[in-house]
């Protein structure tokens, strides 16, 4: 890819793209070498034994990723219910994860809108009650 | 035809790359298994290798799947396809919607995405564990695998050790126990 670098913000994006593509090339060489090696040697007992040990470690790494992600979330009733609903949908309904992502974000916005609306109604009601008492 | 399908699938995956890394595994799994490019066992291999190598796990997975499906050209197509959406989204955000960064609707949507990302990663872990009989299935459970998983998780949580060392140790343990 050829980029013409300009000044300012575009310059940053341009150099970022250069860097990204050069790194991707190195990565491509490394990862393409692995499957070609594995296809030739996948039945070798040493490779199989290594993967028997590696598989549970990878599951633990993914779980650790979930723990780290959970730490960055503010856990409230709304977020907990979004988490549980998305997890149950993914586990028991064969649904594209992208739909879960989209519906979750949209559902969160709708939830917040109705919550704000009910809070606004309650405050209006309280103000009118005060006026009547006065 | 396969190249076009590879491109479309990884382009879709790239568009749902919220949370990155492990949060993308369910999307990759859905696309790859539905197309029959890899079986669950091969997908576990792909994720293991992708996790061990430098670079984002999702891009590494894309390269692996692309290569096993259609050689070097497949790897190139999958890599470009998975990288394109983030480039498009980032450029759009930089040039068009930077003024809406603090808009309440955008902030609420982002806040709602966080628990979904956690859910996606938990789901990825559960599916991987089920596919490899590390947790309960009708075929029986690999107790040793379960013990390795629990001990690895405890080490990760308590020591914050570099995952590469953990993977190397787990591979070594596998050789010692099963070779």
Q: What is the mean pLDDT of each run of 10 residues along chain A (134 residues)?
A: 49 54 58 60 78 87 89 86 90 86 85 79 75 70
Among residues A25, A63, A71, A100, the alpha carbon closest in space to that of B51 is found at A63
CB contact under 8 A, B94 and A13: yes
Please state the pTM of the whole predicted model.
0.74
Q: Which of A31, A59, A78 sits opposite B128 (nearest CB)?
A: A59
Among B41, B118, B144, B171, pick the best mutation site for testing chain A contact (most A Cβ within 10 A): B118
Contacting residues of A for B72, CB less than 8 Å apart: 32
B 7-66 residues inside an 8 A Cβ radius of A: 12, 15-16, 18-19, 21-23, 25-27, 30, 44-45, 47-51, 53-55, 59-60, 63-64
Contacting residues of A for B90, CB less than 8 Å apart: 13
Contacting residues of A for B48, CB less than 8 Å apart: 51, 54-55, 58
Q: Which two tokens stand for residue B76?
A: 């190139």
Nearest CA in chain A to B56: A27
pLDDT recorded at residue B111: 82
pLDDT recorded at residue B122: 92
Kindly list the averaged pLDDT for each block of 10 residues, start to end, along chain B of length 179: 89 81 84 88 83 81 89 90 88 73 78 88 88 74 85 89 84 85
pLDDT recorded at residue A1: 41
| Minimal C-alpha gap between A128 and chain B (Å) | 28
Interacting residues of B107 by C-beta distance below 8 A, sequence separation 6+: none
| Minimal C-alpha gap between B56 and chain A (Å) | 9
Q: Which of A34, A46, A109 sits opposite B105 (nearest CB)?
A: A109
pLDDT recorded at residue B77: 93
| Minimal C-alpha gap between A125 and chain B (Å) | 25
Q: Which two tokens stand for residue B87?
A: 């480039």
CA distances from B87 to A23, B15, B174 (A): 15, 10, 40
pLDDT recorded at residue B9: 92
CB contact under 8 A, B27 and A97: yes
Among A65, A99, A120, pick the best mutation site for testing chain B contact (most B Cβ within 10 A): A65
Q: How far apart are CA B148 and CA B166, in angstroms?
A: 11
| Number of other residues whose CB lies within 10 A of the CB of residue B85 | 17
Quick check: B161 and A66 in contact, CB under 8 A? no
CB contact under 8 A, B125 and A59: yes
pLDDT recorded at residue A16: 55
């Amino acid at each position: 890819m050829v980029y013409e670098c300009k000044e300012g913000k575009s310059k940053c994006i341009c150099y970022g793209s250069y860097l990204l593509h050069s790194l991707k090339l190195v990565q491509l060489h490394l990862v393409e070498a692995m499957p070609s090696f594995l296809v030739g040697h996948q039945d070798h007992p040493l490779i199989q034994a290594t993967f028997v040990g590696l598989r549970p470690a990878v599951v633990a790494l993914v779980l650790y990723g979930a723990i780290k992600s959970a730490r960055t979330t503010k856990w409230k009733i709304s977020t907990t219910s979004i988490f549980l609903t998305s997890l149950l949908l993914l586990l028991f309904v064969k649904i594209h994860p992208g739909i879960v992502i989209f519906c979750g974000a949209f559902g969160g916005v709708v939830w917040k809108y109705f919550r704000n609306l009910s809070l606004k109604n309650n405050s209006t009601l309280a103000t009118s009650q005060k006026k009547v008492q006065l | 035809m396969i190249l076009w399908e590879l491109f479309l699938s990884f382009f879709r995956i790239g568009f749902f790359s919220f949370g990155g890394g492990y949060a993308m595994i369910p999307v990759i799994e859905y696309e790859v298994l539905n197309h029959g490019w890899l079986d669950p066992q091969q997908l576990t291999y792909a994720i293991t290798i992708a996790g061990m190598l430098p670079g984002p796990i999702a891009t590494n997975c894309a390269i692996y799947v692309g290569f096993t499906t259609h050689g070097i050209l497949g790897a190139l197509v999958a890599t470009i396809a998975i990288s394109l959406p983030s480039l498009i989204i980032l450029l759009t955000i930089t040039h068009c919607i930077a003024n809406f960064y603090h808009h309440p609707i955008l902030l609420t949507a982002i806040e709602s995405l966080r628990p979904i990302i956690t859910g996606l990663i938990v789901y990825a872990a559960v599916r991987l564990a089920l596919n490899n009989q590390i947790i309960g299935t009708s075929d029986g459970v690999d107790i040793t695998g379960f013990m390795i998983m629990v001990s690895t998780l405890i080490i990760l949580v308590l020591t914050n050790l570099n995952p590469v060392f953990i993977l190397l140790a787990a591979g070594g343990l596998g050789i010692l126990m099963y070779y």
